Amino acid sequence: MEIKIRRRRGYIAETTVEKEVEEEEQPLSPAARLFHAPEFNCYIISVVGLKNKIQPDVIIEGIKQTLIRHPRFSSKLVNNLNNNRQEQKWVRTNVVVEDHVIIPKIETQNIKNANADAFLESYVSDLTTIPLDTSKPLWEVHLLNLKTSDAENVVVLRVHHSLGDGMSMMSLVLACTRKTSNPNELPSLPYQNRPSSGSSSLKTSSRCYARFFWLVMVLWSATMLVLNTVCDALEFIATTLFLKDTETPIKGDFRFRLSTRKRMCMVHRTVSLDDIKLIKNAMKMTVNDVVLGVSQAGLSQYLKRRYGEQEESKRNSSNIPKGIRLRGALLVNIRPTTGIQAH
């Protein structure tokens, strides 16, 4: 009887250890492994402006109380060989926050507001060429005692894209903040329920006509959904095999940039959200439509300027190629739950 009890206890202890090991080690998702590919090593760089003086001790203590409690920010990347196959896992580790907080020495006496903005863009550009240390969790916080045209001090957060996407990082950063009126509560975000686009189509005088119209719309929507899905799948296969984008100044070579450590320039512009909303209301569209249209117009003007420079140098009016194939990826958040999550 005692032997059975001991075996049972040993089984429970062994199961507990296995669960702890599973919690300490997590395999990388397919998307995370893609972000660690040599030709697609991608980072998320966020620049936050502050209106008060930076207090490093307060920021370090705040990171200890919030950020490193997240499993991805307290885990390092480990590469193992299992049956001649490389396995990548997240392994929990003890985080020394001071090793992740960088305070560069900046001579602010000779830097004015205009030069400070250029210095900040150059500083962020240099971060794109310096890989993160894989012996510790893949994130850094840079505290810049630099007065720009928009802020008194600047904080730069650099996170490897395998830790999460933009929406998850925004939710995480907001979850680390609290209300100034009540330090124990999370900040509240406005939430608006969008009305259904098909609810107004049924408001007709004839009920039979409404049902017939609803049935036609459902069949048409289902047919277009299947057709668009098939076309997108065929286009994706063709793009993978032979249908490549046109060689333009926009199309870059990531392998060449990584092999030569070519410097990438980061430039940003601040636009007014009220202006975007004004265009949205005038054109009866969404904010995403306006931002996408502005981006398309900017890329178009950039191509015209670049090909115009080549045209002047070669004095050939036919230098601009026709039928340029240029595609971009637009990332959309499809999570059903919006706002800040406490856990």
Q: List, by residue number, the catalytic residues.
A: 161
- The CA distances from residue 36 to 41, 123, 161, 196, 251, in Å, are 5, 23, 9, 40, 21
Rounded Cα–Cα distance for residues 104 and 130 (Å): 15
Contact, 90 vs 26, CB < 8 A? Answer: yes
Radius of gyration of the chain from Cα atoms? 26
Angle between helices 287-314 and 273-283 (to 10 degrees): 100
Contact, 123 vs 102, CB < 8 A? Answer: no
Q: Phi/psi of residue 54, each to 5°?
A: -75, 135
Question: Could you give the dihedral angle defined by the CA atoms of residues 135, 137, 140 and 141, in that order, rounded to the nearest 10 degrees?
Answer: -130
Rounded Cα–Cα distance for residues 9 and 235 (Å): 58
Kindly tell me the sign of the dihedral angle through the C-alpha atoms of 45, 48, 54, 60.
Answer: negative
Contact, 31 vs 114, CB < 8 A? Answer: no
Q: Residue for token digits 């001071």?
A: 98
Rounded Cα–Cα distance for residues 209 and 202 (Å): 9
Q: Phi/psi of residue 148, each to 5°?
A: -105, -175
Q: Residue for token digits 């039979």?
A: 208
Rounded Cα–Cα distance for residues 193 and 5 (Å): 58
Contact, 340 vs 174, CB < 8 A? Answer: yes
CA 37 to chain centroid, in Å, comes to: 17
